[in-house]
């Protein structure tokens, strides 16, 4: 839920400078770029979580 709030805030900030001044196509590209950046961030978070789940605990050895 916190991530959605951050996402909304970032998109609003990015679009604030473009809305009303930029052509629709440019505004859509800014939105799309922001969504791609967000996807990269989210994918990175999930990757970090998966690595933590599969990591061995100190002193533990898997064969």
Domain residue limits, the chain: 2-43
**What angle (nearest 5°) sits at the alpha carbon of residue 22, between those of residues 20 and 23?**
105
Exposure of 13 in the CB half-sphere (CA atoms within 13 A) = 7
- Extract the residue ranges of the chain whose pLDDT is less than 70: 1, 3, 15, 17-22, 48-63
Q: What is the reported pTM?
A: 0.41
* pLDDT at res. 39: 86
């Amino acid at each position: 839920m916190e991530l959605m709030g951050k996402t909304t805030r970032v998109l609003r900030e990015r679009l604030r400078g473009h809305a009303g001044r930029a052509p629709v196509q440019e505004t859509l590209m800014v939105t799309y770029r922001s969504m791609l950046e967000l996807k990269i961030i989210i994918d990175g978070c999930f990757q970090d979580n998966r690595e933590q789940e599969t990591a061995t605990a100190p002193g533990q050895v898997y064969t």
